[in-house]
Structure 1
């Protein structure tokens, strides 16, 4: 299997720019949003940030704040900075799977073992693709070690050896990376190609985002990548997070946590979903597939890891009508959908308004501060929409 990572030549960005007023945003609320980010950076909550806001196929806001890197010398965030997406990557991987399902390569009701027979080990033979992608598979704590990131024969073995922790379908419990390593192996079984190549060809390049959205970062693009950071033990300030800045991690393209993108690329990805599966004249999936993928497949069942209902779709989760939900903002439309990245980011789309928003930072900050700031950020955008 070819694991080389290609680079696509630069192309025109698929979302033309427009001003906030013409796209129906209250400027004073967006000013409050940017002022809050500037305050966060001044207070050393994170070194840098990038945000993007789009509506009806046009880009209303794309702005950088602070530093993409802090060591050995500060490097300012720039328009071409690529930010670690963490679990926002799950949505990118999901879009590739949606496209493969439309081609008839599999059904979400299929068992993983129908396509990867050895996955049946350890009583996993009846686990369906839908259970995996909606965090009901039963192996949330399974781990793929660094030895398998580049060796995809070893990756398949590691995934098939995952032990079962509870009966599949009996719980909703967030699978941090294990579910999407499984889906990466599934993509390779379906196509005979490296999952990173499939995601690049099926999603990133087709949407005109080949230089702004990566699952598997080429070494030649490392200079554009923002370094990830973590809080200092004192709880104030940050330091580089070595494991997530390594060459091996960046190249791995971990399908549930290892993507890199600009904020405007993520806003564009969600614009595709809001526009029925099409962006700038290129169709990725059909409206009917999107209706299926963006349906609440887990109802109001509590995600035992998150401690609240997460209303899981096939990739993104939905706001729903429960008291609160992570990341999307309490004021969000019940139909709003999105995903976040651990301690750093959230990206979402709102079908009722046609708005998509991406907020990405480079410091892993724990709860409760992390969730509170996400709610505030999202609500400032929701209340800017007119």
Structure 2
């Protein structure tokens, strides 16, 4: 499957190469200083790929394996944008409306006072159950998965707060996708979004043994510092296979940059229209205003999938100097991917070590701002 974006020279595409050289040098220093074993970046503009670069190691134990441009990285919550794009497409087909209640499609979800929760509230982190958990034995047993999410209990009144739902809301979204299509949500994502857009070799809702040689191991930072260690939970076969819709997708940086190019091109990639411009305008609207996301501690300007930069002083991941219309999403302690409608630029930065704040947020801002200042 050919990649949907042709390559072109970065300088000819209107990028300041000295700023891109500073970006590469910064990531080289991060790896030399032991912040993460490996990394991949991709930069695109106006339907062309300007830069793809892989750094360091995809695996460290028991043997080192160098990262390549085909390496697949755990996307963590960048996965939410892929799932949201699937929901956009289902809405265009008339299978759902974002003003629908979840219980309109999954009637038993109304248990425990959840009957009024809309799909819009669900996907903009206003559902009211941010800490609900799906156990491992439901990851592959989707009949049990449906039962588990319907049994979720509310922690606060839906719509009364904005509070990031790390995994819980998108498990519900997966159940809704299955309810309206009659198929495994992972298959629906692949058939509806990834393959038609030409990204079937770059983005995956879960990976099996056949792709093991391409997958980068995930690492975590020991509490007292030191060498990043392999993460046994996120490298386990059941995690990789599950395609957890809130955080278990895998992909390349070029794949994520291309997905965001689709959004900048009014819904078209690989000569395939996924959604209409009007659907994108609706999805990429700031639905939560300047209300503080109580998990993030700042306004996050939530859209249906990505969030927007807006005009507040601080924002997470998109770069403090980004255009107010820029939008994107991150992955816990590791990554951020974003697009800028004012310049036609999309960018993906993915690493394989989950590091805590404050350093994580500092480096995301630094990385993104180097890219923004490279744009002419």
Give ranges in structure 2 of 5+ residues lacking alignment.
none
Paired with 1:355 and 1:94, the residues of 2 have a C-alpha distance of 20
- 1:358-373 correspondence to structure 2 within 5 Å: 358-373=348-363
Contact 2:15–2:374, Cα closer than 8 Å, also in 1: yes
* Displacement of 1:177: 0.2
- Match of 1:292? 282
Paired with 2:41 and 2:127, the residues of 1 have a C-alpha distance of 33
Contact 1:213–1:259, Cα closer than 8 Å, also in 2: yes
- Match of 1:76? 66
Partner of residue 19 from structure 2, selected from 15, 29, 32: 29
Paired with 2:367 and 2:201, the residues of 1 have a C-alpha distance of 27
- 1:197 is paired with a residue whose SS is helix
* Displacement of 1:280: 2.8
- 2:86 is paired with a residue whose SS is helix
Paired with 2:62 and 2:193, the residues of 1 have a C-alpha distance of 35
- 1:265-344 correspondence to structure 2 within 5 Å: 265-344=255-334
- Match of 1:192? 182
1:354-380, Cα deviation, whole Å (9 max, x unpaired): 000000000000000000000000000
- Match of 2:223? 233
TM-score (norm 2): 0.99
Paired with 2:264 and 2:12, the residues of 1 have a C-alpha distance of 19
Paired with 2:223 and 2:349, the residues of 1 have a C-alpha distance of 25
Paired with 2:112 and 2:122, the residues of 1 have a C-alpha distance of 16
1:377 aligns with 2:367: yes
- 1:338 is paired with a residue whose SS is strand
Paired with 1:144 and 1:381, the residues of 2 have a C-alpha distance of 37
- 1:290 is paired with a residue whose SS is helix
Partner of residue 106 from structure 2, selected from 112, 116, 120: 116
TM-score (norm 1): 0.97
1:219 aligns with 2:209: yes
- 2:39 is paired with a residue whose SS is strand
1:86 aligns with 2:73: no
Give ranges in structure 1 of 5+ residues lacking alignment.
1-10
* Displacement of 1:202: 0.6
- Match of 2:234? 244
Contact 1:45–1:236, Cα closer than 8 Å, also in 2: no
Paired with 1:158 and 1:75, the residues of 2 have a C-alpha distance of 38
Paired with 2:47 and 2:226, the residues of 1 have a C-alpha distance of 39
* Displacement of 1:234: 2.3
Paired with 1:19 and 1:220, the residues of 2 have a C-alpha distance of 34
Paired with 1:210 and 1:233, the residues of 2 have a C-alpha distance of 37
- Match of 2:92? 102
The alignment of Structure 1 onto Structure 2 pairs a total of residues equal to: 376
- 1:366 is paired with a residue whose SS is coil
Partner of residue 38 from structure 1, selected from 28, 38, 57: 28
* Displacement of 1:219: 2.3
- 2:233 is paired with a residue whose SS is helix
Contact 1:102–1:289, Cα closer than 8 Å, also in 2: yes
* Displacement of 1:274: 0.3
1:111-130, Cα deviation, whole Å (9 max, x unpaired): 00000000001000000000
1:7-48, Cα deviation, whole Å (9 max, x unpaired): xxxx11000000111110000000000000000000000000
Paired with 1:45 and 1:282, the residues of 2 have a C-alpha distance of 39
- Match of 1:256? 246
- 1:19 is paired with a residue whose SS is coil
- 1:50 is paired with a residue whose SS is strand
- Match of 1:7? none
* Displacement of 1:217: 1.3
